Structure 1
């Protein structure tokens, strides 16, 4: 099964590959990575923060439209509203400025809970986590404990983009790391336009 942190994957692909929109097809990417890992591709779960329709109406519409399309394709989608916090920063002259920053809350916890729940119900034999969020490190030891109690092996891998410019080239600890480059990513691009028509 694939567990995709949509915002985490988007931000890494944007930083390393230069894409300004989340233009990946989660099913195509999961199939590619399963081939790399030697897994049979199973179901895909997609998790993302959802921008506010008032603060970011264009991006809200984008993610709603993309989520609907993914669900039609058989992907199980979980969303959580983004939270907006006012942050104090210092400019280059040392003066205080304020900015509003969107934050994603609860996505890593939801992924961890789903992994543990499915492992306990014997619904999981192998999983690829598409995130470099180090908050997910702890779920790995929980899955290992469940595996030991049940006397079964649950294989865990972590897939993430990489490039020569990568300054953080590590996945979730104690998983098999599956790095993918721009060439592989480009084979998994979704060309559909999910932005609202103006």
Structure 2
């Protein structure tokens, strides 16, 4: 429900391990509606403010909810709510491409395993070729015992 890391420190550590100089830190997330949880809405409002004060560019999108009515074996019904982030990956992709065109980075480090972002990798490589410069995207993702996947974004 919430990240247990400091995005700025994580980014600095990954960059330092590869000899890169971090210059921008962006954080993208979906946030709850107040009507769904006052406590979590308050948490995320405070978290976003703290990240912004620390110099992180934060982009939020409201989470979308879909209620399904599921029939249980005893014939009764239960409402099951699924939550989706909508627009977060598109905004991230647009920002990566825009910042590549503006030459704002040489290496973009994306902390995601969303395979939809593999299209961004090819676009950034094409931009770098047009600009006659080196520019790369790499993907850092969880790899510990609790990790659910062992790979990052394809072609990174």
State the TM-score, normalizing by the size of structure 2.
Answer: 0.91
Do residues 61 (structure 1) and 42 (structure 2) align?
yes
Q: Describe the superposition over 1:117-149 as per-residue Cα deviations: whole angstroms up to 9, x where unpaired.
A: 111122221110011111111111111111111
> Which residue of 2 is the match for residue 38 of structure 1?
19
Q: Describe the superposition over 1:13-52 as per-residue Cα deviations: whole angstroms up to 9, x where unpaired.
A: xxxxxxx642211111111111222211211011111100
> Which residue of 2 is the match for residue 127 of structure 1?
108
Alignment of 1:1-198 (within 5 A): 21-89=2-70, 91=72, 93=73, 97-175=78-156
Distance 1:90 1:165, change over 3 A: farther
CA RMSD of aligned residues (A): 1.8
CA distance in 2: counterparts of 1:156 and 1:118, whole angstroms: 12
Deviation at 1:167, TM superposition (A): 4.0
**Which runs of at least 4 in structure 1 moved beyond 4 Å after TM superposition?**
88-91
Deviation at 1:115, TM superposition (A): 0.5
State the TM-score, normalizing by the size of structure 1.
Answer: 0.72
CA distance in 1: counterparts of 2:74 and 2:143, whole angstroms: 35
| Contact 2:125/2:136, CA 8 A, preserved across alignment | no
CA distance in 1: counterparts of 2:88 and 2:68, whole angstroms: 22
Q: Count residues in correspondence.
A: 155
Distance 1:30 1:83, change over 3 A: same
